[in-house]
Amino acid sequence: MPEKKIRWFIIARHGETDFNAERRVQGTLNDPILTHQGLSQAAALGKYISKRGAITRTFCSPLQRCRQTYATIAEICSDNSNLLPEPTILENLKEIELKEWQGRLRNEIMIEDKTNWEIFKSNPCDLRLENGSFAPVLDCFERAISNWDVIRTDAASNSADVIFIMCHGAIGQCMLLQALGLDKKEYGKSRRYALDNCECFEIEFESDLSEYSSRWRKIDTSQEVSKWQSTYSSHLIASTLATNR
């Protein structure tokens, strides 16, 4: 039976990669690896996670850049006597799939596929790649829904209080929007819902019966931890932003 118990979910983005530094599109490619800066970011996030309290369930994208980030975080936690468990590798935590753009420089795409790039930046849900047959953002949002089903069910089954999720920027944003009950059309519309390298969202659900979260906050280890924001207030802000667009 679902419990009326508060659970916290920490959704983190991987550290900076060589592709990030080159401004090259990664998508679902497994080639990108962490830079020195990315490893430093992961270590800083590890220090925060090590002080967060016991984390008994963890999940990770199958892509190398997330595995590297997770390993660095786990090492820092181990040094601080707060061991992280081996993560469950969840295929649907991989990054947004950007088909023919993957591996290419952003500046190159802006010139050679200008129309689609402008759609991606103005109305991401309308983007269609692979000769118009594939909708990257819609696919990512559907995977976010699936991820929550799997992860929240697992948390309830294992009575986990704090769950750590190591993934990517786009899938992390889609999972936050889903948790807040915001429409997928909010994707890419505000930096409030975006993750930079090794930033994370902390999302609170008051009960396993709750469809949506009760509150959330963004964590940037290079700055002060942001204040908690209620899901209700996030809806009001999203509505105001939509009206002003």
Q: Whole-model pTM?
A: 0.94
Q: DSSP secondary structure string, the chain?
A: ------EEEEEEEPPPBHHHHHTB--TT-S---B-HHHHHHHHHHHHHHHTS----EEEE-SSHHHHHHHHHHHHHHHHTT-PPPPPEE-GGGSPPP-GGGTTSBHHHHHHHTHHHHHHHHH-GGG--BTTTTB-HHHHHHHHHHHHHHHHHHHHHHTT-SEEEEEE-HHHHHHHHHHHHT--GGGTTS-GGG---TT-EEEEEES-TT-SS-SEEEEE-TTSPPPPPEEHHHHHHHHHHHHHH-
Per-residue pLDDT of the chain (245 residues), as tens digits, is: 456 799 999 999 999 999 999 999 999 999 999 999 999 999 999 999 998 888 999 999 999 999 999 999 999 999 878 889 999 999 999 999 999 999 999 999 999 999 999 999 999 999 999 999 999 999 999 999 999 999 999 999 999 999 999 999 999 999 999 999 999 999 999 999 999 999 999 999 999 999 999 999 999 987 777 789 998 877 766 655 555 55
